[in-house]
Amino acid sequence: MIRKTFMLLTGLGMAMPTFGHYIPGDGPVELSASVVATWRSDDIVEQNDYWQIPGTLMGGHAWPYEKGVAVDEALLGLGARINERTFAVIEVGTHGGGDGHGDSAEVQHAYLGFQCCEEPGPWVLEVGRMSSAFSPSLAAHAGDRLTSESPLVNDVFFGRDFHDEGVRLWWHETAGWSAGAEYWRGKAFPANTDGDGAWDVFARHAWSAGRIRTTAGGWYYRANASARADHRYGGGHTHTPVAPPGATAEAFPDTRFTGDVDVYGVHASLQYELSTDWSLGLQGEWMQLAMDGTLNDAVGRQARLDADQQGGWLQPSVSWRRHTLGLRGEMLTTDNHLTGSAAPVLAEDSGLVNASGHDPMRYTAVWRYQWRPDVAFRAEVIQDETLADDELRFGLGVVWQGQLWPQGRSQEHQH
Amino acid sequence: MFVKKLRAGPVWPALLLCVSALLSGCLESSSTTVDDQGARVSSFDWGLPESIPLPREPEDNPMTEAKFQLGRHLFYDRRLSTNSTVSCAGCHQQDKAFSDGVARPFGATGEQHPRNSQPLVNVAWASTVTWGNPSLGTIERQILLPLFGDDPVEHGLNEANSEQVLRSLQADPTYGPLFQAAFPEQNDPMFGDLAWDNVVKALASFVRGLVSFDSKFDRGELSASAQRGERLFNSERLECFHCHAGYNFSDATVDRLTTFNQLMFHNTGLYNVDGMGGYPEPNTGRHEVTGDPDHMGQFRAPTLRNIALTAPYNHDGSVETLEGVIRNYAAGGRVLTTGPNPGDGRMNPFKDGFITSFAISEQEIDDVVAFLESLTDESFITNPRFSNPWNSIGQETP
């Protein structure tokens, strides 16, 4: 009932769309940086527990958010026009994740782009290591989002972040339309490098008239994985964590998935300016995932897996001058079927077991204050029902997103 | 024109689609269903704790209580040897967890076996059933070796005497009903062509049914010392848990849930007779069968259940105590300066990667031993179900 009421109410509300993809402008070299730090009142899971949402196969960089102050993200990006039609982008950053997980910096973007054929619109070819373009929320950084925590479906279906080596060809923002295809080597969850890689197609449309701005789009993604591990905790030589006196810890059961993953999604955003000071926003995305494959473990146990999962989020917001107040409601449903003599054990070990039919949900209320053009503060209240035990936690954060060179220019999409 | 049409494209329908999809999802409920395809179904009462998966049963020899009971009688019957001096129970004694307490036993003709008698504990879960033969995956095939093998001679059966031995069994009225109950689908299971096949299947059924999962460890009754030992056992310093893994304390374990048979054999640096990793003949382990030089000295990690009852240790019974085994591992191999097989096992190039030296105090050795002793299953060694049936029916063991 609460769920329904929330979803219906949010349909009346409104937020600013964000897109993570970046093409350098025509000027000189652009150097930008951002740091996102958040204090949270509680952990999602205890220190020696593993974050595993019932009914799902998780992985990638979907580390649990932890109590205390954590750097959610730190980025340093460099973009340059090599000539009129060629550009390059390099971005180094951390994923965050607390407790040493993902704290080390890595190259998240390193790609070359070419554009041509200005009429009827530019075609852009990009090659290298980059974020995906098919889902705006998946490419968005922690500082771009209204909330500090990434959408639940992104954490579960894509391991929070998506950076892979690949090639993208797309028709870029012409008459409001963007559409293209991407082919990936398969380094990013839910693919893995031993599989046959991944690819996707996408299209979206941006439209504005008077006080209204909208975007809407859809995409389809397909990946193949071979003996894919949950690399957050497994995938190599695993140990039983050393628990403090009086506490117990268990070794992570290293269960692998081999097979195909199909995901499709639709997303939309709407912004309506009531007046110079007031505006309303609404954003949302819905994804449907199908997994067809095999689970196995190190001792030779095996079971067939056929899974259909879907989830999404909806985020209405209201802005007054530099203040934005928003709500985000998220949910996930899972329908899994395992077959084989080892099915009960592997369902338990992999995290797919969901004996109580738990539907993971999360609600976030957020207030964001844009103190300076490059500095914002936010406060959040999160009712987390993703695990069997509900949790209410609070967050206070700061976002700094600066253009270091040239100064005084904002970072925009340009051709 | 095309672009103009698109400009007024389906934005609102897409948005509505998003919202409606979200709402439709609200009405669904999550579920995970599993179909284990009968993995917990058996016509035999294994008496297992819930956490232990059932072992595999051969399709041509499914477990039945009648075969188990017939096999039990045969297991303790000395007539099943060339001169009626040796039964299976001679080298596999219940009070020693079905081992024999000697380094290397003697067969019916006095020939000494090159290997230490393995305890018969949870053999049903073993991926291979001898110390070093990777091709022997079923108890039925393994049993032929002690019965009919000639290198070495154990029971000493052969083509010349097998008929006579069978006749001696047929003459005992105890066996008729047992055979008939065990193989009801056969017209004449004790006198027909399948008589020896039935003997083997019954013996295998009894051995397969020797189940031990009721130790202090299983009941969670570890002493303080044993708890410390358990932590050491599972530590990356000692590395014990890698080879002695899982519920049966052996990485050579299969059950109904496992799809693949993983051949797990390890060289523990026990010998290095030629400075090049050699083991004394004929005990070269997996290498004996495969001839692969890399398999030199590789033996299967035995289960550690009831290990405190099965001294002496290692494949040739050359280590007398558990303390001695731990000290060899702590040294990263065994150094022999005297005797017929001197050599520095620490330098064995075929040694398993987990056999690295580690520091360990006397107290810690005692703790690890205490943990290993906690794996002793008293009910297993006293269970009348596994004991000599000839005593219970008032007969002297034949």
Q: Check CB contact under 8 Å for A334 and B254.
A: no
> Where are the domains positioned within chain B?
65-212+380-392, 216-376
Strand-pair partners of A206: A215
Amino acid at B50: E
3-state secondary structure of B230: helix
Of B30, B253, B254, the CB nearest to A333: B30
Provide φ and ψ at A258, rounded to 5°.
-125, 125
Would you say B18 is a known binding-site residue? no
Distances (CA, A) of A77 to A20, A214, A306, A326, B114: 12, 28, 41, 28, 69
pLDDT digits (tens, 9 = 90+) for B159-193: 999 999 999 999 999 999 999 999 999 999 999 89
Contact B255, B125 (CB under 8 A): yes
Q: Check CB contact under 8 Å for A357 and B31.
A: yes
pLDDT bracket for residue B385 (50, 70, 90): very high
Contact A354, A336 (CB under 8 A): yes
Provide φ and ψ at A303, rounded to 5°.
-155, 150
3-state secondary structure of A22: coil
Would you say B244 is a known binding-site residue? yes
Residue in chain B closest to A12 (alpha carbons) equals: B19
Paired tokens of B188: 């004449």
How far is it, in rounded angstroms, from Cα A338 to Cα B394?
Answer: 53
Chain A nearest-CA distance from B258, in A, is 4
Q: Check CB contact under 8 Å for A312 and B21.
A: yes
Sign of the C-alpha dihedral computed for residues A20, A21, A26 and A32 taken in this order: positive
Arithmetic mean of pLDDT, B118-139 = 93
pLDDT > 50? residue B228: yes
pLDDT > 80? residue A131: yes
Q: Check CB contact under 8 Å for A7 and B17.
A: no
- CB contact residues (below 8 A), chain A span 279-308, against chain B: 282, 284-286, 296, 299-303
Chain B nearest-CA distance from A396, in A, is 29
Class of domain B65-212+380-392: mainly alpha
Q: Check CB contact under 8 Å for A239 and B236.
A: yes
Q: Assess B276–A contact: CB distance below 8 Å, yes or no.
A: no
pLDDT bracket for residue A251 (50, 70, 90): confident
Paired tokens of A224: 């193949």
How far is it, in rounded angstroms, from Cα B199 to Cα B190?
Answer: 9
pLDDT digits (tens, 9 = 90+) for A169-222: 999 888 899 999 999 999 999 999 999 999 999 999 999 999 999 999 999 999
Q: Assess A267–B contact: CB distance below 8 Å, yes or no.
A: yes
Q: Assess B41–A contact: CB distance below 8 Å, yes or no.
A: no
Q: Check CB contact under 8 Å for A300 and B34.
A: no
Chain A / chain B CB contacts < 8 angstroms: 169
Arithmetic mean of pLDDT, B258-276 = 90
pLDDT bracket for residue B5 (50, 70, 90): very low
Arithmetic mean of pLDDT, A371-376 = 95
How far is it, in rounded angstroms, from Cα B125 to Cα B339?
Answer: 36
Of A207, A300, A347, the CB nearest to B11: A207
pLDDT digits (tens, 9 = 90+) for A253-295: 899 999 999 999 999 999 999 999 999 999 999 999 999 999 9
Q: Which residues in chain B are closer than 8 Å to A342, comparing Cβ atoms?
A: 36, 39, 257-259
Paired tokens of B186: 């056969």
Provide φ and ψ at A405, rounded to 5°.
-155, 135
Q: What percent of chain A has pLDDT over 90?
A: 74
Q: Assess A239–B contact: CB distance below 8 Å, yes or no.
A: yes
The pLDDT, as a whole number, for residue B15 is 52
Contact B378, B344 (CB under 8 A): no
Arithmetic mean of pLDDT, B252-262 = 85
pLDDT, chain A, mean: 89
- CB contact residues (below 8 A), chain A span 358-377, against chain B: 358-360
Q: Which residues in chain A are closer than 8 Å to B126, comparing Cβ atoms?
A: none
CATH number of A2-235+251-405: 2.40.160.10
Is 1.10.760.10 the CATH classification of the domain at B216-376? yes
Chain A nearest-CA distance from B226, in A, is 16
- CB contact residues (below 8 A), chain B span 116-145, against chain A: none
Q: Assess A353–B contact: CB distance below 8 Å, yes or no.
A: yes
How far is it, in rounded angstroms, from Cα B116 to Cα B100?
Answer: 9
Which residue out of B30, B33, B41, B254 would a mutagenesis test of the A interface target, given it has the greatest number of A Cβ atoms within 10 Å? B30
| Angle CA A377–A379–A381, to nearest 5 | 160
H-only helix segments in chain B: 2-7, 11-26, 65-75, 88-91, 139-148, 162-170, 175-182, 195-208, 216-219, 224-233, 240-243, 286-290, 322-331, 362-373, 378-382, 389-392
- Domains B65-212+380-392 and B216-376 fall in the same CATH topology: yes
pLDDT > 60? residue A345: yes
Chain B nearest-CA distance from A29, in A, is 33
Amino acid at A163: H
- CB contact residues (below 8 A), chain B span 326-355, against chain A: none
Q: Which residues in chain A are closer than 8 Å to B25, comparing Cβ atoms?
A: 286, 310-312, 331, 333
Of A266, A343, A357, the CB nearest to B17: A266
pLDDT digits (tens, 9 = 90+) for A218-238: 999 999 999 999 999 888 766
The pLDDT, as a whole number, for residue B8 is 41
Torsion, Cα B71 B74 B75 B80, to 10 degrees, reads: -140
Q: Check CB contact under 8 Å for A300 and B9.
A: no
In 10 A of CB B330, how many CB atoms? 17
The pLDDT, as a whole number, for residue B137 is 87
Contact A17, A214 (CB under 8 A): no
Q: Which residues in chain A are closer than 8 Å to B257, comparing Cβ atoms?
A: 301, 341-342, 345
> Where are the domains positioned within chain A?
2-235+251-405
H-only helix segments in A11-140: 136-139
pLDDT bracket for residue A8 (50, 70, 90): very low
Residue B320 is inside which H or E element, if any?
none
pLDDT digits (tens, 9 = 90+) for B366-381: 999 999 999 999 999 9
pLDDT, chain B, mean: 91
Of B11, B53, B246, the CB nearest to A216: B11
Q: What percent of chain A has pLDDT over 70?
A: 90
DSSP letter at B292? -
3-state secondary structure of A7: helix
Angle between helices B175-182 and B195-208 (to 10 degrees): 80
Q: What percent of chain B has pLDDT over 90?
A: 84
Residue in chain B closest to A53 (alpha carbons) equals: B30
How far is it, in rounded angstroms, from Cα A200 to Cα A223?
Answer: 9
Arithmetic mean of pLDDT, B70-86 = 96
